[in-house]
Amino acid sequence: MEVLLKNLTKVFPSRNKKSGEEVVAVNDMTITIPDGKLVGLLGPSGCGKSTTLYMICGLQKATGGQIFFGKDDVTNLTPENRGVGLVFQNYALYPHLTVKQNILFPLQNLKGEDKLSKDEMLKRAIDVARLVQIDNLLDRKPSELSGGQQQRVAIARALVKMPRVLLLDEPLSNLDARLRLQTREEIRRIQRETKITTVFVTHDQEEAMSISDEIVIMKLGVVQQIGKPQDVYDSPANLFVAKFLGTPPINVFSGCVKNEKVYIGRDMIMDAKGVEDQEVWVGIRPEGFVLDEKGPLHCEMNAVEVMGRDVSIVASNSSAATPTIRAIIPSDSGVDHSGKSVTFSLKPYKTFIFNKETEERIYLEK
């Protein structure tokens, strides 16, 4: 089921009538979520991810715009009539019901032609329990389960009605690091098996990158970029996106373009054919640095952190936007651990420049 959000907008009125301003939680959002894919909705806290999800499922009414499931305009349908499954961060299971009863619950309220017999309900519940691998826990209460198991029950409950669209709002946030990794792989597997069109909300870039067919990056209610995780990482549309994706994060320098060359301080780091003279932000991915005595970029060296396969060079440069910058280089590239300074050449496809004011990417000729 393809999902289309068309100019979707949500404005919350100010809480304080006199002084407060209204909040535009989602601003003119237009995206297509392809049939059968898992799309990660990614951005910092407060950027409008949950609000978007709640509009898709119908818990929040859109202020403007439309929502389509395939050809159906569902903008004004109630949540029950949209055929969506929803999973929250805090599982929200009924504590007094067993796992089986929790999973059965959504089926017991079906009316009219959707109504199922007891046997059909039980079969469905057991099928989804098997899918999420909790079929051995059916008689337990939620309090007798680990966080990861509880989240599986919540996923089973969302799937049991065979939704057209599955919506997950930060489903891994309450789990510890190891379970988070494991459950995220599980969600990926379940999504691939069921081929249900899925929207996965998270503020964690690594989580979104690892699980999604496509990611949508939001800032202050506005979509910044949409694409395959690797494509967005390799070609960020603006400084915000460049900074949001990647660990360690991209290194940012204040620089300028002069006579079609890019400078960081006095170091001329690369050509910028056809670009007008201007101030820019220069972004260099940690893996974009190459140790090179004859390289153009000069930095002071603060420390070398050994990571095994790679080393991380912590350095500083007076033009850097942060007190230190970080270069990741293979540990066999012969770094002098006691050096006071370090010189780099840069991989051009790991180095981006951005307009100083708009922070939009300035694309360079290859």
197 binds, among ligand ADP, Mg ion, none (CB under 5 to 8 A by kind): none
Q: Would you state the structure tokens that stand for residue 297, as one six-digit string?
A: 């970029």
**Residue 49, H or E segment:** helix 49-57
Task: Name the token pair of 126.
Answer: 């057991």
Say which residue the tokens 């770094």 belong to.
Answer: 335
Minimum CB distance to ligand ADP, residue 78 (Å) = 19
Nearer to Mg ion, 50 or 224 (CB): 50
Which CB sits closer to ligand ADP, 25 or 208? 25
105 interacts with, out of ligand ADP, Mg ion, none, CB within 5 to 8 A per kind: none
For residue 103, which amino acid is it?
Answer: I
Binding-site partner at residue 48 among ligand ADP, Mg ion, none, CB < 5 to 8 Å by type: ligand ADP
Instruction: Considering the complex, state which of residue 43 and residue 163 has its C-beta at the smaller distance from ligand ADP.
Output: 43
Helix/strand/coil (H/E/C) assignment for every residue in 227-275: ECHHHHHHCCCEHHHHHHCCCCCCEEEEEEEECCEEEECCEEEEECCCC
H or E segment and range at residue 207: helix 205-211
Q: How far is the CB of 11 from ligand ADP (least distance, A)?
A: 9
Is 216 or 264 the residue whose CB approaches ligand ADP more closely? 216
Task: Provide the binding-site residues for ligand ADP, judged by CB under 6 A.
Answer: 12, 23, 25, 43, 45-51
180 interacts with, out of ligand ADP, Mg ion, none, CB within 5 to 8 A per kind:
none
| Closer by beta carbon to ligand ADP, 46 or else 265 | 46
**Among 312, 287, 314, 293, residue whose Cα is nearest residue 302:** 314
Q: Which of 251, 256, 254 is nearest to 272 (CA)?
A: 256
**Is-contact 43 218, C-beta < 8 A?**
yes
Q: What is the CA radius of gyration of the chain?
A: 25
Shortest reach from residue 43's CB to ligand ADP, in Å: 6
Least distance from ligand ADP to the Cβ atom of residue 65, Å: 15
Q: How far apart are CA 153 and CA 140, in angstroms?
A: 11
25 binds, among ligand ADP, Mg ion, none (CB under 5 to 8 A by kind): ligand ADP
224 binds, among Mg ion, ligand ADP, none (CB under 5 to 8 A by kind): none
Among residues 43 and 236, whose Cβ is nearest to ligand ADP?
43
Alpha-carbon gap, residue 82 to 78, rounded angstroms: 7
CB of 160 to ligand ADP, least distance (A): 26
The listed partner (ligand ADP, Mg ion, none) that binds 143, CB under 5 to 8 Å by sort, is none
Minimum distance between the CB of residue 91 and ligand ADP, rounded to whole angstroms?
17
- Interaction site with Mg ion (CB under 5 A): 50
The full length of the chain comes to 366
CA–CA gap between residue 125 and residue 97 (Å, rounded): 14
Q: Of 133 and 173, which CB lies nearer to ligand ADP in the complex structure?
A: 173
